[in-house]
Amino acid sequence: MKLKITGAISAVIILFIASCQSEESIEFRRYYSSGALVYQTHCQNCHGINGEGLSALIPPLTDSIYLKNNKTALACYIKLGLNRPITIKGRTFDDAMPAAELSPVEIARVLTYIGNSFGNKLNTINEQAVQADLAKCE
Amino acid sequence: MKNLTWVGLIAIIFGTACKFNTGDKTVLPIYGNRRPVTKMVNDKPVTDTLYQTISKFKTINQYGDSISNKSLDGDIYIADFFFTTCPSICPVMHRNMLNVYNAFKSRGDIRIISYTIDPKHDSVPVLKKYADKLGVSGNTWWFLQGKKDDIYKLSESYLVRKPQEDAKQQFIHDGSFILVDKQKRIRGAYDGTDPKQVEQMIADIKTLQNEPDQIIAQ
């Protein structure tokens, strides 16, 4: 009897986790696939189809450590552009990045795409997170 | 056994047919207007074809050297129009052009020239810095600054869309790579933003290099 109850409870828990995960992964996939389109339109010309950048002119988007450490600042970089030197993979890039005219949800989508492509693993960066980050732009 | 012979024979026919097709494509077309001219040679009228060629120009490269159309005499070269602060198609164009540069820089038998359409901003030091950052050195690839009106006018002789400025003071221009032969005739035009077309251009340059100097095309 006890075994049955434990079994039932664990089954429910497993089901719950599984459904949770799939909802999360649906959100992720939705952000990621629409983010790919935003990337193509607004980012790819400069940063490249594989996020490779361009020599010492345009930084690559493959520095996972940089992206992880600056995760909450990335939305502001996209929204306002970047006008100061940054160090990516040990190299300094000092050319300006222009601001992109994107809505918070588009920024969230493209960040989810970049953050989970080119060898990066930042999981979903959703609209709420981007809204919160944008409120703190310097 | 008989069947096998037939198969073999058909395979040979197809094989040679393909070879014939690839072998046939050794002459690149000559673009632009052309007109016949009749000259008197040894008291006899001889009709020749006059092809459209690239106009004269005067510019300065990223090293501060004066570069004119004469500096390219006898060279096969590729030309494009760009500006260093271009946020749209230029990075793609020059990412692709970098492949061309790397394919030919050690041989030194072709040149690449990129005319800036924003000479006010793109001074010699700005162009030098751009070249350095792109990883370009030596004299294979020149970045050229000239008078704005002259460069805009010159773009017409390369048969590209004339650059324009829109309301936001952004420059609108053509992303073409133009292949020019030793006689300054246009032999190819490629979308510089498309890696496949740029690959084709690299193949065409090799074809052009193997062309006899005095070829009578078409």
A22 pLDDT band, cuts 50/70/90, is: confident
Residues of B with CB under 8 A from a CB of A: 87-89, 91-92, 94-95, 98, 130, 132-135, 193
Residue B217 pLDDT: 46
Q: CA-nearest residue of chain B to A56?
A: B133
> Which of A93-97, B31-35, B151-155, B204-208 comes out lowest in average pLDDT?
B31-35
Q: Which tops the pLDDT comparison, A1 or B23?
A: A1
**Confidence category of residue B111, pLDDT binned at 50, 70, 90:** very high
When pLDDT is cut at 50, 70 and 90, the band that residue B109 belongs to is confident
ipTM > 0.85 for the complex? no
Provide CATH code, domain A2-135.
1.10.760.10
Per-residue pLDDT tens over the stretch A34-57: 999 999 999 999 999 999 999 999
What are the chain A neighbours of B91 within 8 Å (beta carbons)?
45-46, 54, 57-58
| Confidence (pLDDT) at B168 | 58
Average of pLDDT values for B79-103?
92
| pLDDT average, residue stretch B116-131 | 96
Beta carbons of B91 and A56 less than 8 Å apart: no
Q: What are the chain B neighbours of A95 within 8 Å (beta carbons)?
A: 133
The nearest alpha carbon in chain B to A48 belongs to B92
Q: What is the pLDDT of residue B25?
A: 58
pLDDT tens digit sequence for B184-193: 999 999 999 9
Structure token digits, residue A84: 């100061």
Judge whether B68 and B57 are in contact, CB under 8 Å.
yes
Beta bridge partners of B113: B79, B142
Inspect the interface and report whether the beta carbons of A56 and B87 lie closer than 8 Å.
no
What does the pLDDT average to over B126-146? 97
- Please give the mean pLDDT across all residues of chain B: 86
Residue listed under structure tokens 């400069």: A46
pLDDT bin (cut points 50, 70, 90) of residue B162 is: confident
Q: Which residues contact B173 (CB under 8 A, 6 or more apart)?
A: B81, B82, B83, B117, B155, B160, B161, B163, B164
Q: Has residue B20 got a pLDDT over 70?
A: no
Per the CB < 8 A criterion, the answer to whether B157 and B58 are in contact is: no
- Residue B128, judged by CB atoms within 10 A of its CB (0-12, 13-18, 19+), counts as middle
Residue whose pair of structure tokens reads 């390369």 in the numeric block: B158
How confident is the model at residue B164, as a pLDDT? 77
Backbone phi and psi for residue B53, each to the nearest 5 degrees, phi listed first = -125, 165
Nearest by CB to A58, which of B88, B91, B98?
B91
Q: Do B89 and A45 touch (CB under 8 A)?
A: yes
- Check if CATH label 3.30.360.10 holds for domain B54-209: no
Structural domain spans, chain A: 2-135
How much is the average pLDDT of B50-68? 96
Q: Quick: pLDDT tens for A67-118.
A: 999 999 999 999 999 999 999 999 999 999 999 999 999 999 999 999 999 9
Domain ranges of chain B: 54-209
Please say if the pLDDT value at position A31 is more than 50. yes
Q: What is the pLDDT of residue A1?
A: 64
